[in-house]
Amino acid sequence: MEKTKILYVEDEPFLGRIVKESLETRGFEVRLVADGKLVQASFEDMEPDICVLDVMLPNKDGYSISKSIREVRSNVPIIFVSAKIQTEDLLKGFESGGNDYLRKPFSMEELIVRINNLLHLTQKTNSTTKEIAAIGKFIFNSSRYELVFQGVVRKLSNREVLLLQVLIENKNATISRKEILMKVWGDDSFFNSRNLDVYINKLRDYLKGDEAVKIVTLKGVGYHFSVG
């Protein structure tokens, strides 16, 4: 059985070594890179199953690295780790292609849970979702991680695809926040609930070209996704 390959980018030597060794004892194959400008070559050489990126790095920051990775592979999971955890930091991380955001300092147990959860969700998406769906005037291609509107293609992150799938499955019906969180994140923690708010706002922005497509917040309940 092949080991899961992790590209881990961290410029703090002690932390990098500890995390790398801890992940390796759990059966992962880990490549540690400390310089932002060296990440792209390592990514293309290793072809990792998942990336764990520090944000503040020498020569090239984690957000820029994520964008570069997305140009090569749109569906590889990316986890940011950073002491910066304000809403604007989360937004920047997700906008650059990140799937999850872990605050420093973090426990190895939490990092491993998030790695395994993201890998599970990604494999589930790749194995079960090969359809093209119409959403009003939009065309959603889940297998290619694309949302098309009037010929313009927008690339989606893995988490955006998962969330949009859940909404489509419950089109013109109400779905609770808890159900969405369990299906897309695997748990309904406060942190993931904040992430859900960010992603809902992103999807609203993506879909605003068609006034017939609406994601309505039902306070204390969840969301109603209406099309037409």
Residue 130: band (very low, low, confident or very high) from pLDDT cuts 50, 70, 90 = very low
Residue 52: band (very low, low, confident or very high) from pLDDT cuts 50, 70, 90 = very high
Higher-pLDDT residue of 201, 91: 201
Backbone angles phi, psi at 45, to 5 degrees: -75, -45
Question: Quick check: bond before 77 cis, omega within 30?
Answer: no
pLDDT at 188: 81
Q: Which of 67, 90, 96 lies closest to 191 in space, CA to CA?
A: 90
Residue 124: band (very low, low, confident or very high) from pLDDT cuts 50, 70, 90 = low
Q: pTM of the prediction?
A: 0.63
Domains of the chain: 5-126 (3.40.50.2300), 131-227 (1.10.10.10)
C-alpha torsion sign, points 150, 165, 101, 49: negative
Tens digit of each residue's pLDDT (9 = 90 or more) over 147-179: 999 889 998 887 888 899 999 989 999 999 999
Q: Which of 148, 154, 147, 156 lies closest to 74 in space, CA to CA?
A: 156
- Give the burial string for 33-72 (b: 16+ CB within 10 Å, else e): bbebeebbebbeebebbbbbbbbebeebbbbebbebbbee
State yes or no: pLDDT of 127 exceeds 60: no
Distance between CA atoms of residues 56 and 81, nearest Å: 9
Tens digit of each residue's pLDDT (9 = 90 or more) over 56-90: 999 999 999 999 998 888 778 999 999 877 778 88
Helix H segments across the chain?
Answer: 13-25, 39-46, 62-72, 87-95, 108-128, 158-169, 177-184, 190-207
Tens digit of each residue's pLDDT (9 = 90 or more) over 14-34: 999 999 999 999 999 999 999
pLDDT at 162: 87
